[in-house]
Amino acid sequence: MVDTVSNAANSPALNQPWQKLGLKEDEYQRIKDILGRRPTSAELAMYSVMWSEHCSYKSSKVHLKQFGEKTPDNNVLLVGIGENAGVVDIGDGWAVTFKVESHNHPSFIEPYQGAATGVGGIVRDILAMGARPLAVMDSLRFGAADAADTARVLNGAVAGIGGYGNSLGLPNIGGETVFHESYAGNPLVNALCVGAMKHDQILKSGANEVGDLVLLYGAATGGDGIGGVSVLASEVFDEAAPSARPSVQVGDPFMEKLLIEATLEMARAGLIEAIQDLGGAGLSCATSEMASNGSGGMRVQLDTVPLRDASLSPEEILMSESQERMCAIVDPVNLDQVLAICEKWDLTATVIGEVTDTNKLEIYWHDELIVDVPPQTVAHEGPVYNRPMQRPANQDELIADSAAKLAMPTTGAEIKADLLKLLSHANLADKFGITEQYDKYVRGDTVLSAPDDAGMVRIDRKTGKGVALALDGNGRFCKLDPYLGAQLNLAEAYRNVAMSGATPIAVTNCLNFGSPEDPAVMWQFAEAVSGLADAALEFGTPVTGGNVSFYNQTGEIAILPTPVIGVLGVIEEVGKRITRVYSNPGSKVYLLGETRAEIDGSTWAEIIHNHLGGVPPKLDITAEKLLARCMRNFAAYGIAEAAHDISDGGLLTALAEMVYDSGIGMKIEISQELAAGAMLFSESASRAIVVVPENGITAFNQLCEQLEQPVTLIGEISAEGAGLEITGLLELSYQELTAAFQTPLLPH
């Protein structure tokens, strides 16, 4: 073996900064055992980032394996967990890939760039599967609307999401924005992207053919995004290096647009053997994972990497998370064509190495070997922890503290007052101030977008085939019961997709939790993963991949456990989709599903009484699947004019939202039992409001009867007036609804 870098940093007399790089003592010792020697500075840097929680999933692997063990056999999964993103079959030769990931911590430090590069990173994951990115969504959590720092973080993050996505020409078709004090110092910025390709266009990341070339193309490499590695590079190994590299990546969406077009042109021409985007851990991740996923060998000449900062050390180049870069494996006979395409799109492209049969990742710096490691040990054989778990000491007390003890509104005036307070709260108020910053319709294939329950895009312009997506994450329910809470989150996303008339077929997730070193947090995480895996199996919707984000806490206070669940559904003809907007006076309003007095963990309890306690609503997955089946049939036969799921805020909130969106009133008449406050604000699962035109009523009732779907006629669309009237209980004018819903999200 060629001698490793012989500088002062590698002198046995100098202690290596493994602790500053986030490694534990036993992890550092394991690296030495693997190599049979002390690691070089570059190797230490590479192992430290690849063995980090973010890259290695070392605290979550033992639990995440359930997603593979409990995969339902619905014959849609083409590529599962382990690649850049999962891929599912949607029929007619089409494949769709989708994934959601977090960029939480960067978005607190620098909200605009943190959120923008979160969008850029998830788009490249989809691109790396060979798909054309088609749309994005986001799931956002901020501190209380009146908290001191919320405006800074929210305004910056929303501007970053819009600025990057709009510039890329990708529609933002929906998501959610939630405010809660637990996110004040730790916002959640979860971004989803969906893309499509034909089955024979799917790409993988494994470098298999010896002699193939390693091509780096896109933006030049800078010092952004290095984070902890700057400690290694500047404070320890090179006192002359800049001491403060930026910790948050800087994005260039126009460069990413060129990257997308060049990559797709090369892929469609069959010029790419394998591909990996450069996101977390940069070149360290791309080279080690591609080598590990393939034949196991790669040789890289690091000094050939194009730089925009000549002062970067080898360690910094390896760890840089500069955006808008891709690493492709190319057959030498195709190199000229590949370079020509990159030149056409004004992208720098450089051959930085080749695939070998050595089962080693060898990285040279000016002909000096600075990395000589088995790539599997870097990418896939890192530490695996079975962290201690303990049910929180106050969990029983929390569960016993039911919202049933709270003062319920009993009169119409009290119910109306509570409803208006709910509708004007930042969690339920109109998010127009956010969504107006996003281009929803660019590309011309958006079919549904916010505020509809699901987003929908057309995939095939000839047949009208499309996909619907929803993101949901209820932290309140997960705090009370993380197992059931995660299942309820999946059920809500599943239901939202079903409301559009699409058939839910697959799941992605972004699991946002506090520190895995806290046994109580680890218990929450394990319970949530088990709940999600069990429910996905029962729903028949495989988990295709996702992301784990730990250490989301401020000091010792963790965020609400927030597993954000994304569900994808397929619809054969997007022209038959169902929206939540109605337009025909005289149409009938039906309540589907059964309502119980389930207000524990509800939006009503939180907003009206600042209360969180008790047991979340029950979940009957059979009933949830039945409701989805009904919605599918309503769409296919054109029976339903509009539909909306019932979730946050309960029945009254859902009715108010439909009236507000439609601008036409409803006259509702309900039983005395259902008119009770606990029933009106209940968040029982498996429920929806469906508006049916006169010519569809017979078919609607027949279908519900045949499928044994519980259904109740509760009213009709008004021939005059635009407000919400609950006979004998309350009246809300459209002006009152508008005033409540259009309450500014942030105080002036």
| CA separation for the pair 666, 591 (Å, rounded) | 13
pLDDT in tens, 391-437: 999 999 999 999 999 999 999 999 999 999 999 999 999 999 999 99
pTM of the model: 0.95
Residue among 252, 258, 272, 130 at smallest CA distance from 195: 130
Phi, psi of 712 (to 5 degrees): -135, 125
225: helix, coil or strand? coil
Q: pLDDT under 70 in the chain at which residues?
A: 1-14, 227-247, 748
Provide the H-helix boundaries in 173-248. Answer: 229-230
pLDDT in tens, 327-361: 999 999 999 999 999 999 999 999 999 999 999 99
Q: How far is CA 273 from CA 86, 213, 232, 360, 720, in A?
A: 19, 10, 34, 20, 63
Supply the pLDDT for residue 739: 97
Check if the beta carbon of residue 189 is closer than 8 Å to that of residue 110: no
Supply the pLDDT for residue 358: 93
Percent over 70 (pLDDT), the chain:
95
Check if the beta carbon of residue 95 is closer than 8 Å to that of residue 195: no
| CA separation for the pair 423, 414 (Å, rounded) | 14
| CA separation for the pair 720, 550 (Å, rounded) | 52
Supply the pLDDT for residue 167: 96
Supply the pLDDT for residue 172: 98
Q: For the chain, what percentages of helix, strand and coil (3-state, to nearest 5) are there?
A: 40, 20, 40
| CA separation for the pair 425, 357 (Å, rounded) | 61
429 secondary structure, DSSP code: S
Supply the pLDDT for residue 9: 42
Domain positions in the chain: 8-60+201-379, 578-748
User: Looking at the DSSP assignment, which residues form a beta bridge with residue 746?
Assistant: none
Supply the pLDDT for residue 280: 84
First to last CA, the chain: 66
Locus of tokens 């009290």: 414
Domains 8-60+201-379 and 578-748 share a fold: yes
Domain boundaries 578-748, CATH class:
alpha beta
User: Looking at the DSSP assignment, which residues form a beta bridge with residue 94?
Assistant: 91, 198
CB-based contacts of 373, cutoff 8 Å, min separation 6? 34, 35, 43, 46, 47, 288, 360, 361
| CA separation for the pair 434, 315 (Å, rounded) | 40
Helices and strands of the chain, counted as H and E runs: 25, 28
Burial 398-422 (b: 16+ CB within 10 A, else e): beebebeebebbeeeeebbebbbeb
Q: What is the CATH number of domain 8-60+201-379?
A: 3.90.650.10
Supply the pLDDT for residue 10: 52
| Active centre residues (catalytic) | 54, 103
